Amino acid sequence: QAITRELLLTGNDQLVDAELAPVRRDFRPPADGQLPVRNVVVILMESFAGRFVGALGSGEGITPNFDRLAEEGLLFSRFFANGTHTHQGMFASMACFPNLPGFEYLMQTPEGGNRFSGLPQLLSARAFNDLYVYNGDFAWDNQSGFFSNQGMTRFIGRGDYVDPVVADPTWGVSDQDMFTRAAEELGQLDRGKPFYALLQTLSNHTPYALPEQLPVAAVEGHGALDQHLTAMRYSDWALGQFFDKVRDQPWFEQTLFVVVGDHGFGAPEEVTEMDLLRFHVPLLLIAPGITERFGSHREVVGTQVDVVPTIMGRLGGEVRHQCWGRDLLSLAADDPGFGIVKPSGSDQTVALIRGDRVLVQPKEQPARLYRYRLGREPAGERLAAAEDRPQLLRQLYAYLQTATASLLANTSGDRERDAVPLASADGPTEPPRTPSQARKASEG
């Protein structure tokens, strides 16, 4: 717990209820970090891999609209998904909880019934209206159950579209249908009260439900990736259309837009045996005054669990939360940032990313430390010896153990009456890898 708290708490945090919850704190963002916004729109982009984003160094021309938007906002170049499936991107970005070994399908487990200190909880307490617009069926991955339990109330899914451009029997409607409906719904939400919304794309996912007449040129020359990159280019086009529609709306200049990929996908290159390119995604913040205050580019490392604290820092005001991330825009200048990631499913490899290095811990094998490079020519270089390797390993184990114990004790949200105090750990050991192992660890 002490190691985890040292990782997460900054000079703007004051730990509270230390005997009950591991990272509950009062966060007081710097006054000069607040932006003149009252609304929040999070756009979770399906399979929006950083490797193929022009603003992050790609030369393939897949994302001209995102690249144009990046010129008016703040882009994070070392940002990563916590997992490699969409549902992990959902709960990490909105519920502020990491992807843990043994709980990769959190939204479908009993522990997913917990309340988490995420955007729905924090902004519902401030009387924000809410909206979730999605192409597909909210029954998938228990999205409706999970997010209803977190506090969201307004859902627009595949059965709510009239005469969509695409009506695919597997996935639902196209991204342009989703964004068109989202623009309409957001205009109706602008009725005096502040609002937050989650808009989630889907077209860039097999079997790629795209219009017969594509509004963009098909991608060629990338072999097996051609169809995937064509779908990504189409999603990028739909994103651009959305911003063109809403830019003149009265609520636009009062809104913080957060555009983030849910995960990446494999590329010809492979960065470490866990392949960071499957995790590397863009994070783009667009809001009035953001570039004047924070600039247009940041290299600090972050993951999706940092999204909620970063949003709360821009809204301003003290907030009590227990997110497993930090406000990326109120860190000390010499803080390189960190992130802990894990692939989906049965692969129990975990990794700690810090600055330009990544410590990869495969199951029952020695950890390996790399220096990595992203952008146009991504690569990884094995570091045979490093003085801080033991410290990085302790931090990785501590974070995973503490988060797992908190999940099992239900002390990561606002339902505390049934919670039990957390057992303290004597030191770093193997991180829990299955629910049964995790429960044994949390029991001491």
Q: Please give the domain boundaries of the chain with CATH numbers for all domains.
A: 13-341 (3.40.720.10), 350-442 (no CATH)
Note the pTM of the prediction, 2 decimals.
0.93
Decide if 366 contacts 347 (C-beta within 8 A).
Answer: no
Which residue type occupies 54? G
CA 340, chain centre distance (Å): 12
Cα-based distances in Å from 195 to 176, 185, 343, 374, 390: 22, 11, 33, 35, 45
Q: Please tell me the distance from the alpha carbon of residue 299 to that of residue 50, in angstroms, as a whole number.
A: 14
Closest CA to 50 of 223, 260, 340: 260
pLDDT tens, residue order, the chain (444 aa)? 999 999 999 999 999 999 999 999 999 999 999 999 999 999 999 999 999 999 999 999 999 999 999 999 999 999 999 999 999 999 999 999 999 999 999 999 999 999 999 999 999 999 999 999 999 999 999 999 999 999 999 999 999 999 999 998 888 999 999 999 999 999 999 888 999 999 999 999 998 989 999 999 999 999 999 999 999 999 999 999 999 999 999 999 999 999 999 999 988 888 998 999 999 999 999 999 999 999 999 999 999 999 999 999 999 999 999 999 999 999 999 999 999 999 988 889 999 999 999 999 999 899 999 999 999 999 999 998 778 899 999 999 999 999 999 999 999 886 443 333 344 333 333 333 333 333 333 333
- Edge-to-edge strand ranges of the sheet holding 129-134: 155-156, 129-134, 195-200, 39-45, 255-261, 283-286, 74-76, 297-298
Mapped onto helix, strand or coil, the DSSP state of residue 79 is strand
Q: What are phi and psi of 248, to 5 degrees?
A: -95, 5
DSSP-H helix ranges across 274-321: 290-294, 307-315
Mapped onto helix, strand or coil, the DSSP state of residue 386 is coil
Q: Which residues contact 192 (CB under 8 A, 6 or more apart)?
A: none
